[in-house]
Amino acid sequence: MEAARGLEAAGAHGLVICTNTMHKLADDVQAAVSIPLIHIADATAHAVVEAGVKRPALLATRFTMEQDFYKGRLADKYGLQPVVPNQAGRDMVHRVIYDELCQGVVEDRSKAAYIAEVGRMRRDEKVDSVIMGCTEITMLIGQGDFDIPVFDTTRIHAEAAIEFALS
């Protein structure tokens, strides 16, 4: 909160938190300042709604998948039905993020595991799209790996920040 207040005092007109997981503090940050916070889940939700899909698979850190600050916002504010992997899938997705991607390691077997998990979720959970809800996931998978819409939250959030700055 101190950093947000410092940025506001220095003349910032808006804030971004450049990570999905740390948006768990977004409401507290927003409450601490009078300038807008461009929320990554809001920007992502707008893209999902615009694409005409409703039931995205949410791949992210365990915190983002299991706590309500992100998926609850998608559901409550935008009427979306985000679906997270089952326990084994969440464990795998989280492990790959922290043990590999955050270390700069990109493994073909991990890419295959992510693709297989999305395939399982399409079959069993009827997801119609994928939210890459962690900034590191783009190192591993992308739109070219799927025939359903894939939402790169890093790009979407950056574009929303640019749009805000230019408005």
Contact 146, 130 (CB under 8 A): yes
Residue 134 appears among annotated catalytic residues? yes
The one catalytic residue among 64, 134, 135, 153: 134
Phi and psi, residue 133, nearest 5°: -90, 30
Residue 19 appears among annotated catalytic residues? yes
The one catalytic residue among 19, 102, 138, 154: 19
Cα dihedral: 119, 85, 113, 23 (round 10): 120
For residues 74-102, one letter each, b for 16 or more C-beta atoms within 10 angstroms of the residue's C-beta and e for the rest, the string is beeebebbbbbbeeebbebbbebbeebbe
Residues assigned a catalytic role:
19, 134
